[in-house]
Structure 1
Amino acid sequence: MSAAAAWYDGWLREAALPLWAGAGVDPDNGGFREALTWAGAPHDPRYRTRVQARQAFVYATAAADGIAGPWRAVAEKAFDRFVGRARREDRMFAAVLAPDGTPTDRTAYLYEHAFVLLAAAALGREGLAREVRQGLDVFRHAAGGFREAGDRPFQANALMHLFEAALAWEAAGGDVAWAAMTDELAELALGRFIDPATGALSEFFDPEWRRLAGERGLIEPGHQFEWAWLLDRWGAARGRADAGAAARRLFDCGRRGFDAGRNVAVDALTDNLAVRDGGARLWPQTEHLKAALALGDEAAALEGANGLAAYLDTPARGAWRERMRADGTFVEEPSPATSFYHLFLAVRELTRLAGEA
């Protein structure tokens, strides 16, 4: 494990952080770019809130971790410019900006705001976070939790990232409202999102947070791993053995989608945990690694670390391959900036736990 940690740590420090703070930042407007080609050239003119917030989180956290480089300044400059351009009159954030800073989609999505809160935690922007948290009241749902904007309002994904952001604020010493939010979302996951028969967590629900079945009963291995990592943290903090047990079952469900031949977690399962989509995006591999590390499954963690490495084999070191086909080949497409957040946290957990061993 120590050899894998050293390799990934070198990739992060020497290649990924410099590349995405250089070619990955637009020198004209200071925003983080949406994507880079495998050769490290800019691609995609959009500026989405989720990208600006995720990248700010990565660089602010890298600075807080003591990784050498101008990372705090990179995070602050990009985030402050983003806030100045994307904030609406109601203090919430537009979803997408044009390169000149003009909003092209003024919709306020719960998903985007979860990442604004995560970035704000890393940067210590308590006032901004309080305002965003108050603004989330428009997403409140009578059956508990929050509903998303758009045509699929009842989904677990945005709430998972809100749970992550609230945990980050709780860890940063935020007020008691953050702990209340983490408790509410954890209980919603344990009581509604997870099928007690299988232990799997669904993606989509009806307005009463009842799990959808059949074609709509999608199970994503990556989200089983991601929720496992988060619920394990929350359970440890609250002394809740049931959350730890649920995290282990989630991990085991996600492993039903692990392809040992390719050393990857596939994209989707049916609600009876059969493979539905044998493609394998990058981000589930990072979540598999994080969850395996958190739950002490060293064999699975080594499998995950070995499988993930194939995605980082690009002409420009520090970029990545986003999608593996079912036959093991990769789709030739630019590297999306959204994946850096996943990669950064996986490498961070790997190096942290290897250092403690």
Structure 2
Amino acid sequence: MSAALQTELETEIRHTSDRFISWLTHDALPVWLHEGVDQRHGGFYEAIDPADVKGCSVAKRARVQPRQIYSFIEAGNLGWTGPWQKTVEAGLDWYLAHYRHPDGTFASAVQPDGTVSDETFDLYNQAFAFFAYSQAAAALPDRAESLMADARSLLTHLRSEYGHSERGFREANPDCAPLCSNPHMHLFEASQALELIDTTGPWIALTDEIANLAMDRFIDPINGGEREFFDLDWSPMPDDRGRVMEPGHQFEWCWLLARWGILRGNAKAIQMARRLYQIGESYGIDRDRQVAIMALNDDFSVRDPLARLWGQTEWIKAAVILAEHSSGPERTAYLQDILRASNALFLYLDAAPKGLWRDKLNANGEFVEEPAPASSLYHIVCAISELHRFTKEQTLGPS
């Protein structure tokens, strides 16, 4: 019965993956190409208004530009035949020209015309700069050497001006609390990509540093959950902020730590990733709405029942990687979770106009009426890509 059930689940996962690919290539990408790219000024819009399906002329956050660059690159990798390379090169050039400071760091936001509106240093935005460098270097080999030189230079500057005396990076100079795990998570993601491209660079060391910082500091040694906010010595913040644990980040760290643990042969990382998943699935999924919620306390009680789209995508990715490296009843459970998480994501896609999405689902089961944020496309594309890869690389049931 177990083998038959697995075959049935695998077949359904194939069909689910095909449905996601069809939605991405036929519905989402044409909309985000024609309405999500600022044809007048350059770069990518912050959001698309579902009322008229037009880009919103508001300040463009730095994190959005690298995310859109990645999304169009990965769309090309998934077989989309639209002008992804032209879109990526134009977006990359605009991003580097308008956000990058003379010291190599990146501003937080610019106005639609490219005028800097927020010069603030944010470690999170530097993490996505590394992500942009990694993705563009892989997709545009003629520019790889220059991009890797810029990435190395940025890391040198961060080490000098923002490096933490123990490990990782501070949020500001001079120092201030809280320190945050979230930007380190995206640095971890970027450095994993960079070490595959710039093989003689500092990226393997950075990847390992962040992995060990996560296992030693970010993840609670007693309950196994990943925290968000820390004091200057990497202990949890002594106030209420130190209690925050986000289910979506339990899943996202699970995916990243499991990838790293598999690559490095680190059994501890894989074990910790499984516990992170267990916490996210056991306590972070609302049983009525069947979606990943925003936040828990460190006793796993619900802190914020809002359910955002991105948490569903991270649930998919975590379930996929654990299903890949499991067998028997455990694999069956992860396969079932892939479908549960996929159904959760479809809720957000199906509730919006063609090619767009809703971002926030309230506790009462109603979606917030607001523009579709461009930042979500990165999460959606990555989940679709991971699921697609899984269906192609694994021996699954009949198509």
TM range (shorter): over 0.9
2:157 paired with 1:135 = yes
Return the match for 1:193 from 218, 233, 238.
218
Scaled by the length of structure 2, what TM-score is found?
0.86
In the TM superposition, 1:8-27 aligns within 5 A as 8-27=20-39
RMSD: 1.5
Q: 1:25 to 1:318 in 2, by over 3 A?
A: same
In the TM superposition, 1:57-206 aligns within 5 A as 57-124=70-137, 125-137=147-159, 138-149=161-172, 152-206=177-231
Scaled by the length of structure 1, what TM-score is found?
0.96
- Contact kept, 8 Å, 1:227 with 1:247, in 2: the verdict is yes
2:356 paired with 1:319 = yes
2:47 paired with 1:35 = yes
User: In structure 1, what is the Cα distance between the partners aligned to 2:297 and 2:351?
Assistant: 32
User: In structure 2, what is the Cα distance between the partners aligned to 1:147 and 1:334?
Assistant: 33
In the TM superposition, 1:196-275 aligns within 5 A as 196-212=221-237, 215-216=240-241, 217-255=243-281, 256-275=283-302
Q: 1:27 to 1:104 in 2, by over 3 A?
A: same
Aligned residue pair count = 357
Q: 1:157 to 1:294 in 2, by over 3 A?
A: same
2:317 paired with 1:290 = yes
Give 3-state SS (helix, strand or coil) of 1:209's partner. coil
Moved more, 300-309 or 213-222: 213-222
- Contact kept, 8 Å, 1:213 with 1:271, in 2: the verdict is no
The Cα of 1:149 is off from its aligned counterpart by: 3.3
The aligned counterpart of 1:6 is 18
User: In structure 2, what is the Cα distance between the partners aligned to 1:121 and 1:155?
Assistant: 23
Unpaired runs of at least 5, structure 2? 1-12, 138-146, 324-333
The Cα of 1:299 is off from its aligned counterpart by: 1.0
Matching residue's letter, 1:63: G
The Cα of 1:144 is off from its aligned counterpart by: 1.5
The Cα of 1:153 is off from its aligned counterpart by: 4.1
User: In structure 1, what is the Cα distance between the partners aligned to 2:172 and 2:79?
Assistant: 38
User: In structure 2, what is the Cα distance between the partners aligned to 1:9 and 1:183?
Assistant: 33
Matching residue's letter, 1:147: R
- Contact kept, 8 Å, 2:194 with 2:203, in 1: the verdict is yes
CA-to-aligned-CA distance 1:239-285 (integer Å, 9 cap, x gap)? 00000000000011111111132110111101101111111011011
2:342 paired with 1:281 = no
User: In structure 1, what is the Cα distance between the partners aligned to 2:19 and 2:267?
Assistant: 34
CA-to-aligned-CA distance 1:34-92 (integer Å, 9 cap, x gap)? 00122422224112110111111111232244432111110110110121122212122
- Contact kept, 8 Å, 1:143 with 1:207, in 2: the verdict is no
Matching residue's letter, 1:3: H
Matching residue's letter, 1:199: G
Give 3-state SS (helix, strand or coil) of 2:63's partner. helix
- Contact kept, 8 Å, 2:78 with 2:385, in 1: the verdict is no
Matching residue's letter, 1:148: E
User: In structure 2, what is the Cα distance between the partners aligned to 1:212 and 1:59?
Assistant: 38
The Cα of 1:120 is off from its aligned counterpart by: 1.2
Q: 1:149 to 1:15 in 2, by over 3 A?
A: farther
2:62 paired with 1:49 = yes
Moved more, 179-188 or 53-62: 53-62
Q: Percent identity?
A: 43
Q: 1:15 to 1:149 in 2, by over 3 A?
A: farther
- Contact kept, 8 Å, 2:320 with 2:387, in 1: the verdict is yes
User: In structure 1, what is the Cα distance between the partners aligned to 2:110 and 2:148?
Assistant: 24
The Cα of 1:315 is off from its aligned counterpart by: 4.7
User: In structure 1, what is the Cα distance between the partners aligned to 2:55 and 2:222?
Assistant: 47
User: In structure 2, what is the Cα distance between the partners aligned to 1:63 and 1:139?
Assistant: 36
- Contact kept, 8 Å, 1:38 with 1:314, in 2: the verdict is no
- Greater Cα radius of gyration, structure 1 or 2: 2
Unpaired runs of at least 5, structure 1? none
Matching residue's letter, 2:25: R
CA-to-aligned-CA distance 1:122-148 (integer Å, 9 cap, x gap)? 111222212222222222111221012
Give 3-state SS (helix, strand or coil) of 1:276's partner. strand
Q: 1:333 to 1:266 in 2, by over 3 A?
A: same
The Cα of 1:215 is off from its aligned counterpart by: 2.3
User: In structure 2, what is the Cα distance between the partners aligned to 1:243 and 1:135?
Assistant: 29
Moved more, 312-321 or 9-18: 312-321
User: In structure 2, what is the Cα distance between the partners aligned to 1:203 and 1:188?
Assistant: 13
User: In structure 1, what is the Cα distance between the partners aligned to 2:131 and 2:344?
Assistant: 28
